Structure 1
Amino acid sequence: MEFETDRRRFLELAGTGTALSLAGCSALQDDAASQTTTTGAGESSESSEGSRRVAVTLQPDQQKLQQRQQEIQSELSSGNVSRSEAQQQYQTAQRELLTQAVESFRQRADSTSNLKAVGAVERFGIVLVAGSPAALIDSLSLSMVNALLPQKTFQRAKSQAQQGTGTGTGAENATAVEGSTETPSN
């Protein structure tokens, strides 16, 4: 049984198929205008050291998620839960594991001198990071990292979470955005 998820729908809407095939390389080559867009705090998206901002999409721990899916399917097969309850349990498990992945990635990024997590939308498993191009590309070697995407992908995720797009309530989704002080780079 395949469970529908908000994150999957968002990634489809964001058009990550093309971005994933490019492995994030084009995300690091945004045009100069979008890289020097001023943030709300008056800082530039590109520092004098050549720092860039990109969205990093994360995936939950696949073994834990698969284990939980099997447990839920077993409960569904035995009649202990309805199909909608099983779907809800799976989405909750995925959200919890995405939250863990985001926190783990933030800690790793913040412990690295040339990489910094500056915002996150946990609901979608997306973190906005700033760092040198080499550090950003190196982050792809982490098993939890799916792709590097343009900064505007993070802005779309943040906007959707604040608007309450999906199955959660608007207030619930808005609280998923933490530490975000940046503005869109259009």
Structure 2
Amino acid sequence: MESNPTRRRLLQLGGVGATASLAGCSQFDIPGSEDDSESEPQTESEAELEADTEPDIDPADGITAVVQPDQEALQQAQQEVMAELEEGDLDEQEAQMELQQRQVELISSHAAEFESSMSDDDEVSIEAGVAQEGALLIDGPDERLMSLLRDGDVSGLMPGAEYGRMLEQQEQQQPPVDAEEGGEEPVEEEPVDEDDADDETADGDDSTDEDEAGDEDETDDADE
């Protein structure tokens, strides 16, 4: 779809600042970027999207919409955490984690609000999304998508392939599966019934007696 001149122009205008937002390189170091390999797991306070993370369409056929909360909300979160740090309620590491978590909550909430606002829009479809990244894969007419950018509903528009690359980066950041945990379960040996074991032993003894008797008969025949 990027081969369309109108679509290319749309992405040129919508891409201003979007790359930095999606990569997590904003003023407040929004978590979820490739540099934030140890991001905190999702908590109950984070909003979730109705759309799945994996799209049913080829990401290249859609457009990546980036949504970010307003800077005032981010600044307020930073000021509150800094106040807790100065008062000694948090150490530096705890303050960093707290700030990241609050930022993720703001981004997730904003992404969920955008998805909800698009539910009654007949022109725009949301194919997939990652709330904590503030990234959604959408599709629709170029003019309608541009209006989302003009009205401030989205912070930026990028090629749909960027959404696919984001998913690949997330997969690469997943911790390796423990071989012991991911391996096959050991096969338990079935207990041997004592009666069956005795029967097998008895059968073995009978076979031995028959073999010995056969050997004696052959010896007698040889002597004759």
Q: TM-score, normalised by structure 1?
A: 0.61
TM-superposed CA distance for 1:45, in Å, is: 7.6
TM-superposed CA distance for 1:146, in Å, is: 1.4
Alignment partners' CA distance in 1, 2:119 and 2:67: 16
Moved over 6 A (4+): 43-46
Identity value in percent: 26
- Partner residue of 2:79 out of 70, 76, 79: 70
Alignment partners' CA distance in 2, 1:142 and 1:162: 33
Work out whether residues 98 and 123 of structure 1, in 8 Å CA contact, stay in contact via their aligned partners in 2.
Answer: yes
1:6 equivalent in structure 2: 31
Which has the larger strand fraction? Answer: 1
- Partner residue of 2:91 out of 78, 82, 85: 82
1:132 equivalent in structure 2: 141
Measured on the aligned residues, the alpha-carbon RMSD in Å equals: 2.9
Residue pairs, 1:1-186, within 5 angstroms: 3-7=28-32, 53-164=62-173
2:195 equivalent in structure 1: none
1:18 equivalent in structure 2: none
Q: Return closer, same or farther for 1:126/1:147 CA change in 2, 3 Å cut-off.
A: same
Q: How many residues align?
A: 132
Alignment partners' CA distance in 1, 2:85 and 2:111: 29
TM-superposed CA distance for 1:144, in Å, is: 4.9
TM-superposed CA distance for 1:77, in Å, is: 1.1
Question: SS of the counterpart of 2:118?
Answer: helix
Residue type of the partner of 1:69?
Answer: Q
* Structure number, greater radius of gyration: 2
Q: TM-score, normalised by structure 2?
A: 0.51
The answer for unaligned runs of 5 or more in structure 1 is 11-39, 47-51, 172-186
Question: SS of the counterpart of 1:69?
Answer: helix
TM-superposed CA distance for 1:109, in Å, is: 2.0
Question: SS of the counterpart of 2:76?
Answer: helix
